[in-house]
Amino acid sequence: MAQESSRPRIGEGRIGSSLCAAIGVLSVAAVLCLRYFAFLTTPELRVHYDVEILRLTLAIAMVLGAWLGVIGIVLGDGPTKHMLVAEGSL
């Protein structure tokens, strides 16, 4: 019996969905570090970074993560895609 390869291939949406999930987790961690910086960051490093640049980078990462999530839903062939098609037809 031949087994199917479980490696993700380009065009399936699994790579983008995995990146989306990773960016989402890292974004939540970054927001918590920005919100509770006194507890989650070190005082020695706080003087070396600009908060505005970090916020801009975080916003770009969140937009990229949302875009990868949409691409993963569109390209994926799972139950989520079938639900979206069913909703769109109503």
Is 44 part of any domain?
yes
Q: Where are the alpha helices (DSSP H) in the chain?
A: 14-35, 37-40, 43-46, 51-75, 79-89
Whether residue 5 lies inside any domain: the answer is no
| pTM, to two decimals | 0.66
How many domains is the chain partitioned into structurally? Answer: 1
Distance CA 21, CA 3 (A): 27
- Beta-carbon count within 10 A of 62 CB: 17
pLDDT tens for the 90 residues of the chain, in order = 455 667 766 666 667 777 778 888 888 888 898 888 888 888 888 888 888 998 999 999 888 888 877 777 777 666 665 555 555 544
CA pair distance 10, 87, nearest whole angstrom: 27
Residues 49, 4: Cα–Cα separation, whole Å:
47
**9 belongs to a structural domain:** no
Domain residues for 41? 14-89
Is the Cα dihedral 70, 75, 78, 84 positive or negative? positive
Q: Looking at residue 89, what is its pLDDT? A: 47
Domain-embedded: residue 7: no
